[in-house]
Structures are given as structure tokens and as C-alpha cells.
Amino acid sequence: MKLWGGRFTKQLDSLAMEFNESLSFDQRFFRQDIRGSIAHATMLAEQGVLTKEDRDKIVEGLKEIEQELLDGRLSFDTEKAREYEDIHSFVEGTLTERIGDAGKRLHTGRSRNDQVATDMKLYIRDEIDHSIRLLTELMETVLNIMKANRNTVMPGFTHLQKAQPTTLAHHFGAYFEMFARDRERLQDCRKRLNLCPLGSGAFAGTTYPLNRARTAELLGFDGPTRNSMDSVSDRDYLIEYLSALSICQMHLSRLSEEIIIWNTNEYRFVEISDTYSTGSSIMPQKKNPDMAELIRGKTGRVYGHLMALLTTMKGLPMAYNKDLQEDKEGAFDAIDTCLDCIRLTNGMLSAMKFNLPRMEDSARGGFTNATDMADYLVVKGVPFRDAHGIIGALVLMAQERNCALDDLSLEDMKSVSPAFEEDVYEALSMKACIERRNTTGAPGPKAMEEEIRAAEEILKQ
């Protein structure tokens, strides 16, 4: 069924018809389409454009269609359904078949342009809320890891080389901050999205006495959009959502990359659960971190959909253009992909085991306390630049002997600088190196307790 055939004398070419249809993918927001139509009919009746009898027939009929689609009594996968070109014509056509002329009056005062813009905003708003819930669950998992590993020593890295000692809590605190920013971006996006386009018509409003503020209220929007031309052609909110998802996906990918590295035989910091690993078809010993690799790999897919939409939008003149139909398939795939990755990351972290002794041994064996050894000399009165050179010489000595810095004898140290005393060994312990770092955001116990308290407050917001 087509809603526009009055002035046409020929049938649409079969390939053009297939190219034009969108029901195969926009069916996913049938609930939003029905919700918008119920609000529109309610407002029309309040304004005297529809009779209360027609409104009641429309609302009852729409609710029946929604319930039948939900429980499978009505399906998009039928020959008759495939005659409709989009979700709007499917719902309106099905309604009209059931209730007659009242169904034909539903579209009074609106266009598919403002209708689809409203449907998409309602759908994206629901997905943003879903994204926020999933991210909150992931942040709770990360926070639990932080709480359980305040004292778990591990090496911190720069350039993928061991740098200074830190804790597992401190390391995961970095990811908590990333995911917290991701959630903030989603919350901000939702605020800007929450204005209602319905009633904008094709792009120039309508002559009917619509109450757009009432429609917005019925649909949970903060108010109506201010310019009807912008209303039907705006997809900024979708670009912003995909951008927020892309940044979140980047954070998931960075975490996955570290898990992949930590899972190697060379590191052995973590053991990924069998429930999030796969094996090899030829090598029986293999246990591969495929979920982490897929999360890392799918990041490019999410980026691609963002770039595709930006490219679609960059040359569109005002107001509505059919190009805007291309906002859906890529966006739906990006949303599905990113939300699945959040769920998988949460599950993978919840089931993952950390090899705590191995982490601490790795920190000791990588000269991560070299900076603290230099700081020790500074406290003894040695200028930092001189201390830096002295410790460099001791690192070379330890490398030649294949030992840690604190395995060197006091005589070895004094041969390079007389400033060393017996208390150097206490200063070089991993525990002491971490406990002295209590500036805001550092891994020391006081700083970490404050960071955990702040994280708990963020989760409550």
C-alpha cells in the first residue's frame, strides 16, 4: 500500500520499489510509531479535529495491532505485509482495514517526514536509556574489581614497557573514568534530543489547530522543536549518539587489547573463562581470547556507520530528502554492535581470574621501582638529574646480573653513590613504592579510597 499514489498513472518499477522500501528495517520501531500515532490522535481529539469516537477507535485499534505484533499473531513476514513500503503505511493500512474511515483520519495534520523523525527520536531515546543501563552495570563490575584489588600490585606501563608499580584497582580506575564519561555523553545527548518534531508536517507546519506542546507532553518530550524545517531534516542527535557509542567502543577496544595481552603466555596476568574463549581446530592446546578480539575488531564497524551518516548528511539541502532513509540500517547495526560489546565485556570481566602473584613478580622484575630509588637519593640530598644517572647505572648492573634492583647489595649501590644507606631496601619495596603515592588520582591507599568513594557517588547519579 502506498500513501501517495493519487497523481501517478504508472506502477513503480519493481527494482525501484525494492530499492525504495524500508519496512524490512524500520519495522523495528513499530512500538514508537504506534506510540506517536496514539499521542497524535489524542491531541487531534482534544483540539476538535477528530471526534472522540474516532479517537477511541484509532487508539483501541493501534493498541491491538501493537499487541498482535508483540505476541506474533500479526507479522511483517507475510506476502500482504510486504506490499507496504514502510512501517507507517503498514500501521495505518492495517488500522484502516480494521476500523474503516476513522483510520484514514489518523494522518490529519502530519506528514511521514515529521512522523519518522518522531519515531526515530523515540527509538533513539529508548536506546540511549538502554545504553546507560548497560554502561552502569559495566561500571559496577569495574568498581567491584577496584574494591577487591586495592593492594594487588602490578606493573604500570608506558610504551608497552614496564614503568612504575601500581595496583590493579588503579589500572581499572582508569577504565571506570572512561565509562563514566561515556555515560555522561549519553545523558547529554538525551537532553538535546528530547524535543518533539511531530506536527511539523512536511516541513512548513500545518493549517490545522495542532497543540504541539501537548503532543510533546504525551510522548515525554521536554517540548516541541522550534523550527519545522529543522525538525524534519535534523539527524544531529543520531550523529551525536553514534559518536558517543564510537568513543565508548574505543574504550571497550582498549580494554580488550589489554586483556588480550595479559592473557598471553608471556604475561599470564589473567585467565579468561572458558565461557568467553574458543579453541583451535588444529591446535588442541589453544584457548583463544576471541570475544576480546571481536570487540576490538567490531570497533571499526561502529566507526564506519558514524562516518557513513556524516557523509550522507554533509550535502543535504533543506528540508527533507529521501537520503535520510539511510540513517537507519547503519545506526541500528552500530547500536546493536556496541551494546552487545558492552554486555560481553561485562560478562568477560565478571568471569575473569587475575593471577595476583604473577602480576607482583612482573612488577618486581621490570625495574618499576627505579623512579622511587631516584626519589630516595633526592631525599638524601642528591640533585634529581644526578640521581637519574646513578639509578641508570644501577639498572645496567642489575641487567648484567639478571636480578632486580633490590637484589643488589648495599656495597654495589655505594660503589655508584655513597648516599645509599640500609633504609634503601625498605624504600624499594613494591608496597612502599605504592603507599607513598597519595596525590589525588594516584594508586596509594588514601588516594585510592577517595577514588573509590567518588566512583560510588558517580554510580548513584
441 in the Ramachandran plot: left (φ > 0), alpha (ψ -120 to 50) or beta? Answer: left
Determine if the peptide bond prior to 204 is cis (ω within 30°): no
Active-site residue 159, yes or no?
yes
Q: 84 and 24 in contact (C-beta within 8 Å)?
A: no
- What CA–CA distance (Å, rounded) separates 111 from 203? 9
pTM of the full structure: 0.93
Q: 419 and 386 in contact (C-beta within 8 Å)?
A: no
Q: Which residue has the cell 575488531?
A: 297
The predicted structure's pLDDT at residue 1: 56
The predicted structure's pLDDT at residue 67: 98
The predicted structure's pLDDT at residue 8: 64
The predicted structure's pLDDT at residue 7: 66
- What CA–CA distance (Å, rounded) separates 350 from 348? 6
Total Cβ atoms within 10 A of residue 166? 27
Give CA separation, 213 vs 200, 217, 394, in Å. Answer: 12, 6, 74
Q: Which residue has the cell 476513522?
A: 102
Q: Which of 22, 131, 280, 429 is catalytic?
A: 280
How is the chain split among helix, strand and coil, in percent rounded to 5?
Answer: 65, 5, 30
The predicted structure's pLDDT at residue 298: 98
The predicted structure's pLDDT at residue 285: 87
Q: pLDDT tens for the chain, 461 residues: list them.
A: 566 466 666 777 677 767 778 999 999 999 999 999 999 999 999 999 999 999 999 999 999 999 999 999 999 999 888 889 999 999 999 999 999 999 999 999 999 999 999 999 999 999 999 999 999 999 999 999 999 999 999 999 999 999 999 999 999 999 999 999 999 999 999 999 999 999 999 999 999 999 999 999 999 999 999 999 999 999 999 999 999 999 999 999 999 999 999 999 999 999 999 999 998 889 888 899 999 999 999 999 999 999 999 999 999 999 999 999 999 999 999 999 999 999 999 999 999 999 999 999 999 888 999 999 999 999 999 999 999 999 999 999 999 999 999 899 999 999 999 999 999 999 999 999 999 999 999 999 999 999 999 999 999 98
The predicted structure's pLDDT at residue 383: 96
Domains with residue ranges and CATH for the chain: 13-104 (1.10.275.10), 112-150+166-208+220-356 (1.20.200.10), 362-460 (1.10.40.30)
Q: Specify the DSSP element, H or E, that contains 461.
A: none
Closest CA to 349 of 171, 150, 159, 186: 171
Total Cβ atoms within 10 A of residue 399? 10
The predicted structure's pLDDT at residue 11: 75
Q: 127 and 342 in contact (C-beta within 8 Å)?
A: no
Q: Which of 14, 159, 281, 409 is catalytic?
A: 159
